[in-house]
A and B are shown apart, each in its own frame.
Chain A
């Protein structure tokens, strides 16, 4: 049952040592860093790609607005009721919108073979994947955070909490992108990774959701928001330190199929 090797056969000449000595060998290169060049080029490349397909950038934003529209229709148009649940609604809808675009983070690279090239670059994979995640946040999380106050108006979000809403979303979605990228990296090799991806990352999103929505609520009640924002910042710092390694390890697993 074991198929074994039928001996490495040598056709043509014997070991061509004299040939190798005649010609000047292709010089072996020393690895000469250039990490910043590689990271910058990856940032530029992903930004260019996404900006050329604007639909992919706009989809999460439209989804966000659409989901927010569903709630008054499903629950009640009463501004007082909406004001109470607005922080939670805005945060949950933004979180789902950010999740929506996550599946495509590594998928096209996987399909066209550039992911394996990324893995074979003589650069730390964690740094290169961090560049990709940064682009995801820049074109998903940040626009969502900027758009949220407008939807806040529509949900009668009390005044004084708008800046905190945008800030908490900007901070929080950065963590979401980092954590979500681990899930995206784990499922990129799977044919139907999308649904599984949500199952993997949503439980991990809960702390960010608690402190993000909590910050907005605290702002509404006039309590200090600095504690919430500080914890969101701490979560982001922890994700920044740990997630890139997990993403890199997951990509190496996924490339094996």
Chain B
């Protein structure tokens, strides 16, 4: 168990195994997103109430899902880093933060675009959009805090603590924003909580969500790999790698 955890923590091992996993996730992401988009945008029936504008859901919902999941993943990585001192976990957390902020922004932007045909305005203080906006600020806080330290170790640990504090607060924030929203005359309907969506509408949505997750995993793997090279630049194995000698990761080691 311990040996396994520490092997997982070795940047060199992670570098090797992620090279093997990465193409699969890229392929799955491409396949799912292309299928989902074609199906969702061209073949799924138009909404009886919103017409074609509802199709923004195929970007908005996966982005919103991902925005929340990435924060949780980031906090879990932070916890792993703090408890077991596994540096790869922190490198992953570091690359996840901007990705999560970008996804939150996509969710906000698509929500605003959706607002134009739905509410006739770019911004409504809708419960979901408000929670997303707060989430964006939480991401920006984590990114800014990490950037503010000169010592990398302190930066990593501070960002981990903040991510964990944030993840405990996210449900509380979400709950209180929902409460606040229902108190102040809710709009006639919210963006996505629709009853009984027909199968041909939600199936492409599920595919898109899966595709976004695969894309996230692939991108995180790729960016963590470059983060490993950057941080371990003075380590022997990286210098060998750069010098052109291929570092082989034997199959036994990978297990």
Contacts and interface: CB of A to CB of B under 8 A. Distances in A.
A145 B25 CA distance: 55
A202 interface: yes
B145 A196 contact: yes
B5 interface: no
Interface size class of A (residues with CB under 8 A): 20 to 34
A257 B138 CA distance: 23
Interface stretch (B29-37, B62-70, B167-175): B167-175
A77 interface: no
A193 B144 CA distance: 11
A143 interface: no
Interface string B153-183: 1100110011011101100110111011001
Nearest to B174: A207
Contacts of B246: none
Contacts of A207: 169, 172-173, 175-176
B32 to A, nearest CB: 32
A15 interface: no
Contact of B144 (A196, A211, A214, A249): A196
Interface size class of B (residues with CB under 8 A): 20 to 34
B148 interface: yes
B122 to A, nearest CB: 22
Given A186-B162, A214-B183, A256 B154 contact: yes
A257 B151 contact: yes
B46 interface: no
Given A200-B141, A202-B137, A250-B161, A189 B154 contact: yes
Contact of B180 (A204, A214, A235): A214
A199 B144 contact: yes
A182 B165 CA distance: 9
A256 B156 CA distance: 12
Main secondary structure of the interface of B (DSSP, over half): helix
A182 B137 CA distance: 17
Contacts of A253: 154, 157-158, 161
Nearest to B142: A200
Contacts of A246: 161, 164-165
B166 A1 contact: no
- Looking at A196, A204, A250, which has the most chain B CB atoms within 10 Å of its CB? A204
Contact of A186 (B153, B161, B168, B176): B161
B27 to A, nearest CB: 37
Nearest to B153: A256
Contacts of B172: 207, 235, 238
Given A1-B234, A256-B154, A206 B161 contact: no
B184 to A, nearest CB: 10
Nearest to B181: A210
B199 interface: no
Contacts of B141: 196, 199-200, 203
A2 to B, nearest CB: 9
Contacts of A202: 137
Interface in A135-181: none
Nearest to A257: B151
A250 B173 contact: no
B112 interface: no
A250 B145 CA distance: 12
A190 B165 contact: no
B76 interface: no
Interface string B138-150: 1011001100111
A129 interface: no
A242 interface: yes
Contact of A203 (B137, B150, B153, B164): B137
- Looking at B162, B165, B175, B234, which has the most chain A CB atoms within 10 Å of its CB? B165
6 contacts: A182-B161, A196-B148, A199-B141, A206-B173, A207-B176, A211-B176
Which 3 A-B pairs rank lowest in CB-CB distance, beginning with the nearest?
A207-B176, A203-B137, A210-B176
